[in-house]
Amino acid sequence: MRSLIDIAELSLQEIDSLIATANDIIDNPKKYADKCRGKKLATLFFEPSTRTRLSFEAAMYELGGNVLGFSEAQSSSAAKGESIADTAKTVSCYADIIAMRHPKEGAPLVASMNASIPVINAGDGGHNHPTQTLADLLTIKREKGSFDNLTVGLCGDLKFGRTVHSLINALRRYKNVKFVLISPTELRIPEYIRESLKKDNFEVVETTDLEAAMSDLDILYMTRVQRERFFNEEEYLRLKDSYILTTEKLANAKQDLSILHPLPRVNEISVAIDNDPRACYFKQVLNGKYMRMALILMLLGVE
Ligand code: CP
């Protein structure tokens, strides 16, 4: 039995295989309509979500399975003090696979150590979000054809941005990837990630200036400054509009730039950009469902 807590647990061959399955689902959805008949996915969401929870649920329904779960901690027995370990043991009696989101880093790992069914990390605090990365990877592959030789700009909250941490962890395994890390000083990438990239001799540029970096980028991964990760409201208000991508700021961008965002967006990308052919963030949303379908099939061992 296997869980997915960190994107690095998947080999490059497994990522290729998940992408191949997702592409086949896109081309032949009917082939997959009964693959999980009789199986149940439990979505245990202790933190708000639109895309991740609903795409997991849509994924399981489109595989012919069923879904149960909760969408906030207050409607579960966590509100009465139940531990993650006991919740995981309990849900193992009802479901075949768990997708868990939790505000505390490491909670899905604890669940996986106590569950008798696979656990998927659907986002743990400011740590990791491996299935968002699967959505990102399918999007990059479909837009660019390859993960090699890309200059990837990551912009916004790089400190608490779990999608950023997981995406760097995935892309660092491909050839000649250059990272441009664009953030306010207060929201720089965590030291352990910076040091690890340096140790492995990656070309990394850190800057506060999005416009100056723009012309080099093949991918621009925008992120939201996350109110829920701040202890201090004033600090959030000061930093929240650090980067707002507008049509004018794309003046020097490559014609084949791909603009990604894990969403939700607050106002860091102007809605005017939604109609630009380089905007990929709603494609990412759909790709997330297909990659979660592929992942569920893999973890349940369905042929
Ligand atoms: N990208 C993402 O995790 O979105 P939600 O918070 O809506 O699930």
The residue-averaged pLDDT of 133-150 equals 98
Cα of 168 vs centre of ligand 1, distance in Å, is: 18
Instruction: Please compute the mean of the pLDDT values over residues 235-245 and round it to a whole number.
Output: 87
C-alpha span between 298 and 122 (Å, rounded): 16
Residue 67, pLDDT score: 98
Task: Give the percent of the chain with pLDDT over 90.
Answer: 93
The minimum-distance atom of ligand 1 relative to the CA of 122 is 3
- DSSP letters of 50-63? SHHHHHHHHHHHHT
- Give the Å distance between the CA of 224 and the centre of ligand 1: 11
Q: How confident is the model at residue 227 (pLDDT cuts 50, 70, 90)?
A: confident
Predicted local distance difference test score (pLDDT) of residue 266: 93
Going by alpha carbons, the residue nearest to atom 1 of ligand 1 is: 262
Q: Do 7-128+288-299 and 130-284 show the same overall fold?
A: yes
Give pLDDT, residue 17: 98
> Measured in Å, how far apart are the chain's first and last C-alpha atoms?
15
The full set of domain ranges for the chain reads: 7-128+288-299, 130-284
- Evaluate the omega torsion of the peptide bond into residue 264 and state whether it is cis, within 30 degrees of 0: yes
Give Cα separations from 279 to 82, 176, 200, 216 (angstroms): 43, 24, 31, 17
Residue in this structure with the two tokens 């399955």, named with its chain if needed: 21
Q: Is 49 in the pocket of ligand 1 (CB under 6 A)?
A: yes
Residues 122-144, mean pLDDT to the nearest whole number: 97
Q: Which ligand 1 atom is the nearest neighbour of the CA of 101? A: 8
Residue 231 predicted with pLDDT over 80: no
- What is the rounded distance in angstroms from the CA atom of residue 77 to the CA atom of residue 88? 12
Distance between CA atoms of 210 and 245, rounded to whole angstroms? 9
**Whole-number pLDDT of residue 47:** 96
User: Rounded mean pLDDT of the chain?
Assistant: 96
Say how many Å lie between the CA of residue 278 and the centre of ligand 1.
21
- Express each pLDDT in 168-184 by its tens digit: 999 999 999 999 999 99
How many Å lie between the centroid of ligand 1 and the Cα of residue 199? 31
Q: Report which DSSP code applies to 146.
A: -
The CATH number corresponding to 130-284 among 3.40.50.1370, 3.40.50.1820, 1.20.140.10, 3.40.50.620 equals 3.40.50.1370
- Give, for ligand 1, the residue of 263, 265, 285 to mutate: max count of ligand atoms closer than 8 Å to Cβ: 263
pLDDT digits over 6-49, tens only? 999 999 999 999 999 999 999 999 999 999 999 999 999 999 99
pLDDT at 188 over 80: yes
The pLDDT value recorded for residue 156 is 96
Q: What is the mean pLDDT of residues 119-130?
A: 96
Query: Does the beta carbon of 121 lie inside 6 Å of ligand 1?
Result: no
Closest residue by Cα to atom 4, ligand 1, is 51
Query: So which residues are the catalytic ones?
Result: 51-52, 80, 101, 129
Q: What is the pLDDT of residues 201-211, one digit of tens each?
A: 999 999 999 99
Q: Answer whether residue 299 shows pLDDT above 90.
A: yes
- What atom of ligand 1 comes closest to residue 135's alpha carbon? 1
Å from CA of 53 to ligand 1 middle = 8
Ligand 1 lined by 43 (C-beta under 6 Å): no
Residue 262 Cβ inside 6 Å of ligand 1? The answer reads yes
Q: Classify 7-128+288-299 by CATH class.
A: alpha beta
